[in-house]
Amino acid sequence: MVSTEFWEANFIEKKEMWGFQPANCAILAMDFFVRHSVKNILIPGIGYGRNAKVFIDNGIAVTGIEISKTAIGMAERQYGAKIPIYHGSVTEMPFDPYKYDGIFCYALIHLLDSNEREKLIHDCYNQLKKNGYMIFTAISKTAPTYGKGKFIEEDRYELFEGAKMYFYDHESILKEFGQMGLCEVLEINENHPFFYIICKKDNS
């Protein structure tokens, strides 16, 4: 897992870079959730909330999880009490017993090791209501940074200090999400080539 210190040192810079414009994947997820009558979502790794506004503006209640106190403070200044945010690592989920209609996890899972990824996917699935949806975005092996930096293990590299990244392909997506209601995988360019992964919790 990326350290708390790494996030604390980078969020002000990221805010200046991204502002509060949502990622394209967040807009796609909002459209999908609206079409499927999703009323509330959990965003693990919500950061300072740049991807939250597009959901709130379309009538979807948002709850977040965030490891960085700096990012939470930035989100609170922007949104006030509109977004409850749990302070902690996504590896410590669940933070509440609530079951959500949807979960949106943007550009986070590839920063975790294999055990952490498995736990996050299961924890998110377990916090879905029946027939709920979870959407993950994850960096692809077609990214120009694949294979760069310090080799850690198969398909995982430390690109710079504190940033260890796992790169996905269709085979690894099927391996990690195949038993978690995987129903669609899209390839999307979001500054880097990403996979946009949709899973649905069955009604059994």
Report the alpha-carbon distance of residue 31 to residue 169 in Å, rounded: 25
pLDDT digits (tens, 9 = 90+) for 45-104: 999 999 999 999 999 999 999 999 999 999 999 898 889 999 999 999 999 999 999 999
Asked whether the beta carbons of 52 and 27 are under 8 A apart, the reply is no
pLDDT digits (tens, 9 = 90+) for 121-132: 999 999 999 999
pLDDT at 43 over 90: yes
Q: What does the chain come to in residues? A: 204
More confident residue, 62 or 11: 62
State the average pLDDT over residues 18-44: 93
> What are the φ and ψ backbone dihedral angles of 111, each rounded to 5 degrees?
-90, 0
- Which domains, and CATH codes, for the chain? 4-200 (3.40.50.150)
Amino acid at 32: F
pLDDT for 3 equals 54
pLDDT for 134 equals 98
In this prediction the pTM is: 0.90
What are the residues facing 187 on neighbouring strands?
195
Number of separate helices (H) and strands (E) present in the chain: 6, 10
**Tokens encoding 132:** 């709920």
Q: Which among 115, 121, 166 is positioned nearest to 141, based on CA atoms?
A: 166
Neighbours of 204 (CB within 10 A): 4
pLDDT for 16 equals 44
Lowest mean pLDDT, pick from 3-7, 44-48, 92-96, 153-157? 3-7
pLDDT digits (tens, 9 = 90+) for 158-168: 988 778 999 99
pLDDT digits (tens, 9 = 90+) for 178-198: 999 999 999 999 888 999 999
Which residue is it, tokens 């009558």?
A: 37
Q: Which residues contact 58 (CB under 8 A, 6 or more apart)?
A: 30, 33, 34
